Structure 1
Amino acid sequence: MPDLWLPGAERFPLSDPAPTDTQYAPRAIWHITWDKNASADKPVDLVPFNRLVQYFTGGGKSAAPHLLWDPFTGRTAQFYPASSRAKSVVDAPGGTRTNRTGRVCLQIETLFFPHCRVVGKTYATVRDTPAKGLDKILAWTRSWGVPDAWPMGSPSWKADRSQSTWETKGGHYGHSHVPENQHNDPGPMPNWPGTTPKPKPVPPLFPGRTAFGAGKSNESVLLLGQQLVRRGYGRHYRMGPSRQWGEADRLNVADFQRAQGWIGPDADGYPGPETWRRLFS
């Protein structure tokens, strides 16, 4: 059985553990403590770790997570075993019990607020921090079956909540993803295997104007037609795009060019470098 307590974490067990709803897939929820308000112009020193430990074992028990993590030192404190629910998300009546959703529902509070200052340096997001100890936390979440993926996408400062995704997919969630909640933390998080954004595809090089026109048949004509269809400019095709240039290709290109605000010779239906660039951007 995986470890109920993160190896190496300081233990501060609270006296009211409770079971999770194990019919749901395992997950982890990420937060930031956001205990100060700062700005790029007015950074504020990071709050001491021990002060947050005192809070979660005292007056803040009703909002205690599983883990408190300091990404600058790697220090961690744990308040509930993995098999228990924690209390860092709102659990409104009805729907899923958001504090309990999952075979495990591991809640991690990162000691952080935007534009905190540590040893004279200011950090805008958790992604900017050294993220010390993150590898150990991820090894622990994986041991409980939590996939590395973000089912609702890597967190930003914008809320993106889906009840159906929450109920059906395991993985990592930001507080900004949890149904019934209003907080939009943790903001951008470090990338880890399985969550690194895919590189944007490189658009194909423009093959030159001579690739298009009456009698032309080549892969560039087909590629052009396929992209026109993807962008919603394929209404003149009867059978779909092909390698053979035809009047339907010209009319579809002209539709796209007019959509750019071009008129006259600039919307003649024959692709030039700028038409190609915009079509594939």
Structure 2
Amino acid sequence: MSDLWMPGAERLDIGDHAPTDGGTAKAIAHITWDRNASRQAPQDLVPFPALRDYFTGGGRASAPHVLWDPFTGRVTQFIPANSRSKSLVDAPGGTRTNRAGSVVIQVEALFFPWCRVNGKTYESLRDTPCKGWEELHAWVASWGVASSWPMGKPTGFVSKRDERIWRIRSGWYGHAQVPENDHTDPGSWPDFPTDPGTSKYEPFPGAPWFTEGRQSPVVARMHDRLVAEGCDLYRSSSGKDTIGSGDVASYEAWQRKQGFTGSAATWPPGRTTWDALRVPKG
């Protein structure tokens, strides 16, 4: 099961949770843009605690799910993944931007153009060390968010919005690409981590993939790995390429073996335990 709270992140739950509307899983990329600087007049980056305190105080009504510091890798999460946040403009009678998906995970990177950190100036988010991005991306992907930019990866502070794509495509969207919004951030964003196609193991297909009755060679290889790991609660090996009750019971045993308890150890699989299982590619 995917984690409601990102593993390793500081948790500051501000409450005011509300469900999303369902549909394609999305993530929204923002930058804090809390100061206006320029090449000629760079400014020091605002300290992470200042933004964290803002989103738990006076700015809680527009808090994202997570605040990410690309210079240190520090992450604070304010809202669980399955709740909407309020970081997007949501016009009455419109697309309900903050809820338009099974998840709509909103990430604020602590950054503004021409910020200065330890005497060095950074023009774009891509220029930063992007520490912690791999872990942050993995957590977002565990919620079924595709590692793609349906409207194109942000390469500048320009708006590009297509509500038809927004409604039907899973993936990452820049704030500049969200209907009803007039912001132009994030301007850039780090590349997705190395293509899982280069790995010898099956990449996590997303929690919605694991529906009973799904038939796939991946299911058979998952079956074999669960047996090899001593989590064999199958009644037989017949139809082992089709997800059934034996897969559910055996995988939940594997999640418990990995130290998960309660609802965190229930079906469907989450990215952390899937990656640990190391299901080989065919």
Q: Shorter chain as normaliser: what TM range? A: 0.5 to 0.7
Letter in 2 for 1:171: G
Q: What's the counterpart of residue 46 of structure 1?
A: 45
In the TM superposition, what is the alpha-carbon distance from 1:49 to its structure 2 partner? 0.4
Q: Is the 8 A contact 2:97 2:178 kept in 1?
A: yes
Unaligned residue ranges in structure 1 (runs of 5+): 196-281
1:170-189 mapped onto 2 (5 Å cutoff):
170-189=170-189
CA deviation after TM superposition for structure 1 residue 25, in Å: 0.4
How many Å apart are 1:138 and its aligned residue?
0.7
Cα offset for 1:43?
0.5
CA-to-partner distance for each residue in 1:103-143, whole Å, 9 max, x for gaps?
11000000000000000000011011110000001100111
Higher relative contact order (CA 8 A, sep 6+): 2
Larger Rg: 1
**Consecutive unaligned residues in structure 2, runs of 5 or more:** 196-282
Structure 2 residue identity aligned to 1:113? F
Deviations 1:215-254 (A, max 9, x none): xxxxxxxxxxxxxxxxxxxxxxxxxxxxxxxxxxxxxxxx
Kept in 1, the 8 Å contact 2:134–2:193? The answer is: no
1:140-165 CA distances to partner (integer Å, 9 max, x unpaired)? Answer: 01110000000000012110001100
Equivalences for 1:226-265 in 2 at 5 Å? none
What are the Cα deviations for residues 244-278 of structure 1, in whole angstroms up to 9, with x where unaligned?
xxxxxxxxxxxxxxxxxxxxxxxxxxxxxxxxxxx
Q: Verify the 8 A CA contact 1:148 1:194 in the aligned structure 2.
A: no
CA contact (8 A) 1:89 1:98 kept: yes
Q: Secondary structure at the match of 1:122?
A: strand
Amino acid at match of 1:133: G
Q: Letter of the aligned partner of 2:174 in structure 1?
A: G
Name 2:190's counterpart in structure 1.
190
Verify: 1:121 aligned to 2:125, yes or no. Answer: no
Q: Kindly indicate whether residue 25 of structure 2 is the aligned counterpart of residue 26 of structure 1.
A: yes
Structure 1 CA distance, aligned partners of 2:84 and 2:77? 12
Q: Are the counterparts in 2 of residues 149 and 194 from structure 1 also a CA contact under 8 Å?
A: no
Distance 2:92 2:194 in 1: 34
- What's the CA shift for 1:17? 0.5
CA offsets per residue over residues 173-196 of structure 1, 9 Å max, x none? 00000000000000011112589x
Counterpart in the other structure of 2:72: 73
1:59-86 Cα shifts (integer Å, max 9, x gaps): 0011100000000000000000000001
**CA positional deviation for 1:94:** 1.8
1:111-150 paired onto structure 2 within 5 Å? 111-150=110-149
Q: 2 CA distance for matches of 1:192 and 1:66?
A: 19
Q: How many residues align?
A: 194
**Counterpart secondary structure, 1:99:** helix
2:165 is aligned to 165
Using the size of structure 2 for normalisation, the TM-score is 0.68
SS at match of 2:97: coil
Residue 14 of structure 2 corresponds to: 14
Cα distance between partner residues in 2 of 1:101 and 1:118:
36
Identical-residue share of aligned pairs (%): 59
Q: SS state of the match for residue 151, structure 1?
A: coil
| 1:140 counterpart SS class | helix
Normalising by structure 1, we get a TM-score of 0.68
| Runs of 4 or more above 4 Å deviation | none
Q: Determine the C-alpha separation between the residues in 1 that align with 2:111 and 2:87.
A: 15
